[in-house]
Structure 1
Amino acid sequence: MVVEDEAPLANLVATYLERDGFETTITGDGADAVPLARQVDPDVVVLDLGLPHLDGVEVCRQLRTFSDAYVVMLTARTEEIDTLIGLSVGADDYMSKPFSPRELMARIQAMLRRPRSRPAAPPTEPVAAATIRSFGDLNLDIDGREVTVDGTPIALTRTEFDVLAALAREPGVVFTRAQLIEAVWGPSWIGDEHLVDVHIGHLRRKLGDNATRGRYVRTVRGVGYRMGTGA
């Protein structure tokens, strides 16, 4: 789904998507975007920040109440606050205008290569211990794509979960931003590596973690991030 009020740009993006085999739906009005998303259940939403009637931040916030579609936010404003606000409501990536449609396609294809949630195993089928990672009271079921803290389920976006899972698969190993980008977004992704910091910040907030003395996600100054011990 393309949500963009500049009709020529919306049509251009849709043309590139259709060339790559996607079915596309276009709207230029933020107020129409949410009910339309409920109707078409998109896999990916290309979402402009500056929309009439309902801006992209609010559209994204409402989308996240019922959809796990990948969201790529488009913005004509380059101030960092716009990027941070957009990602804080669940956008997976962002691009500043003007941008290359080919680069947008590459990012979308990289996101779609990441696994979707798997159906839960039947009660009679035990979950393999190797798929469970525990860090104190944080439990991560990598195959089931579920996270709990002290038994309470934590709602993460796909990207937030993928960042956490990448760290948890190799506890104690320090990941640079570039390594996390490759693990989560893929080797073809091009953009600002500080995107990782934004998603780490959201993870910490949702997990009730502390940036200074992280129980779960720890900062290794000058290098990157690793999973903590939960202590």
Structure 2
Amino acid sequence: MKGSPMTDAPRRILVVEDDGKIADMLANYLRAQGYVPEVVSNGLQVAPEVRRNEPSLVLLDLMLPGKDGIEVCREVRAFSSVPIIMLTARIDEIDRLLGLETGADDYVCKPFSPREVVARIRAQLRRAEGRLGPAPPSHGFHIDEDAQRIAWQDHWLPLTPVEFRLLRQLVQRPGHVYSRDALLRTVHDELRDTTDRAIDSHVKNLRRKIAKVRPQGSAIASVYGLGYRFDPEDESSVN
């Protein structure tokens, strides 16, 4: 069944892609789904266009003439919080992490299906509209900073101090992908003799504790080659 944007108002999507065939495919599919696509093909065009008429979301190719996607992302993030989904055929971990740390909200690797891209767009628009903000009531998670504890609905989770800091970091920014190293720096004050693989052990314990009280699963998703994200709305990745 054909989907529709999250609200009745059409959403304008800026497609930044220098491959004409890919740009046309995305624009046609977005238009069929009720969005209003606008295509630019040069990295130098993006920031001025966003300043002139900020779109609802930017689909940003990594490899562009003029300025590459990472440079463009940095430039846009200096003045705008518009959601950015990067499109790339370069899947090595360094490029992907650099893109996310620069301010991209999500990645789609080529080759991709237009349907996948639209699903990612819808998810980012929901977050941008505040529907997936930090620990909303519909998610059931509640953070008690004073007591350093976290509950799901009426169930307080038996967390260690490290597990509390880790889950708090994830819950406060749903959908954001954290590398193991970034999470390690969040949860361990002292990094000596600690490897980033320790995060895997902490996540395993968190998943087990959450799953005991939350039938939908832990909501902590593994992101291959990157790390972890908290995504309670994605039923395919909550375990």
Q: Report which of the two structures shows the higher radius of gyration computed on alpha carbons.
A: 2
Deviations 1:2-36 (A, max 9, x none): 00110110111111111121111111100111101
Q: Secondary structure at the match of 1:223?
A: helix
Q: Work out the CA distance in 1 between the residues paired with 2:111 and 2:67.
A: 22
Unaligned runs of 5+ in 1: 119-131, 137-166, 186-194, 227-231
1:150 is matched with none
Q: Work out the CA distance in 2 between the residues paired with 1:14 and 1:62.
A: 24
Q: Which has the higher contact order (CA 8 A, sep 6+)?
A: 1
1:71 is matched with 84
Tell me whether 1:50 sits opposite 2:40 in the alignment: no
Deviations 1:101-137 (A, max 9, x none): 101111111222235359xxxxxxxxxxxxx96747x
Query: Which of 96, 113, 118 is residue 109 of structure 2 equivalent to?
Result: 96
2:49 is matched with 36
Q: Work out the CA distance in 2 between the residues paired with 1:64 and 1:224.
A: 35
Q: Work out the CA distance in 2 between the residues paired with 1:28 and 1:105.
A: 20
TM-score for the superposition, normalised by structure 1 = 0.59
Q: Secondary structure at the match of 2:177?
A: helix
Unaligned runs of 5+ in 2: 1-13, 132-141, 191-197, 208-239
Deviations 1:63-115 (A, max 9, x none): 11121111111111111111011111110110111111101111111222235
Tell me whether 1:22 sits opposite 2:25 in the alignment: no
TM-score for the superposition, normalised by structure 2 = 0.57
Q: 1:38 to 1:169 in 2, by over 3 A?
A: farther
List, as ranges, runs of 4+ consecutive aligned residues in structure 1 with deviation greater than 4 Å. Answer: 167-177
Q: Percent identity?
A: 39
Q: What is the root-mean-square deviation in Å for CA atoms of aligned residues?
A: 3.9
Q: Secondary structure at the match of 1:184?
A: coil
Letter in 2 for 1:75: T
Paired residue total: 165
Q: Secondary structure at the match of 2:107?
A: strand
Q: Secondary structure at the match of 2:47?
A: helix
Query: Which of 188, 196, 202 is residue 177 of structure 2 equivalent to?
Result: 196
Q: Work out the CA distance in 1 between the residues paired with 2:54 and 2:205.
A: 36
